[in-house]
Structure 1
């Protein structure tokens, strides 16, 4: 019985040590991902969940800790992502879709996507002119082509109509 109990205690200690190593690896991995770029909470959760060292780690506790230390912030991620996508020429529909895919709260999406300092009319004009030139198309075929392109970029129907003066 003594040998059996000693083996069980050693096994328990080994298991606890392995859990601690996994926790440390997972925490280190999370910090590493956040150093490279901002992440949404849900996005980071999904990435960590796929890692073998994070399988048995309570990720909610880890993510709460990262938020408390201000390393992880959905609001900050949203602000950065909106600015980045605007710089790439995407409209509000596509940006909102991409943020929802990452699990970002709708409140943050609305706050940063519809901020007063975003000039959507200027952006859509710049995107259209970069692709098609300055001239507004006269024939229906070219208007449809440009409309489809702008819709694919995530601009609203109203924005497209205003840009093409339909």
Structure 2
């Protein structure tokens, strides 16, 4: 019994050192710590840390979304990354709704940052630019709305 308590204490210290540097999802910590102890011990430690407020998937998702929005990432990419990090779909939906970003405006900001204020001179170049926004995680409708907004701004300049 003493050995398992030592394992749990050591594992908890390791987890706290990780969490002191940045937020981690429960699933990420499970993956990182599972090589040091059995799954049952890791779950017990992580459950204790979650109950004590040291680890929170909600807080992790909030921080992740805020960071990705600052990097001009789109909704689809953010959703995908959070799901890959083990965050439940309902939690992802809830946190994105709470963040309430204006996706077309964010897509337009990314466009301006990458390409300046001018729309592409050719259809081929415009298609290439649209693909780059789609690859950043914006939906087709969000990209079209962003480009329409940029086009209307260009008319008034």
Scaled to the shorter chain, the TM-score interval is 0.7 to 0.9
Q: CA deviation at 1:18?
A: 3.2
Aligned residue among 4, 27, 38 for 2:12: 27
Matches for 1:79-94 after TM superposition, within 5 Å: 79-94=62-77
Matches for 1:17-166 after TM superposition, within 5 Å: 17-50=2-35, 52=36, 54-55=37-38, 58-115=41-98, 117-165=100-148
Match of 1:8 in 2: none
- Specify the structure having the higher radius of gyration (Cα): 1
4+ long deviations beyond 6 Å: none
Q: CA deviation at 1:106?
A: 1.1
Aligned length: 149
Check the 8 A contact 1:85/1:95 in 2, yes or no.
Answer: yes
Aligned mates of 2:39, 2:100 — CA distance in 1: 44
The Cα RMSD (Å) is: 1.8
Check the 8 A contact 1:30/1:48 in 2, yes or no.
Answer: yes
Check the 8 A contact 2:30/2:42 in 1, yes or no.
Answer: yes
Check the 8 A contact 1:42/1:102 in 2, yes or no.
Answer: yes
Aligned mates of 1:70, 1:44 — CA distance in 2: 14
Match of 1:12 in 2: none
Match of 1:11 in 2: none
- The unaligned stretches of length 5 or more in structure 2 are 152-157
- The unaligned stretches of length 5 or more in structure 1 are 1-15
Check the 8 A contact 1:26/1:57 in 2, yes or no.
Answer: no
- The 3-state SS of whatever aligns with 2:98 is coil
Q: CA deviation at 1:156?
A: 0.6
TM-score between both structures, scaled by the size of structure 1: 0.82
Check the 8 A contact 2:28/2:86 in 1, yes or no.
Answer: yes
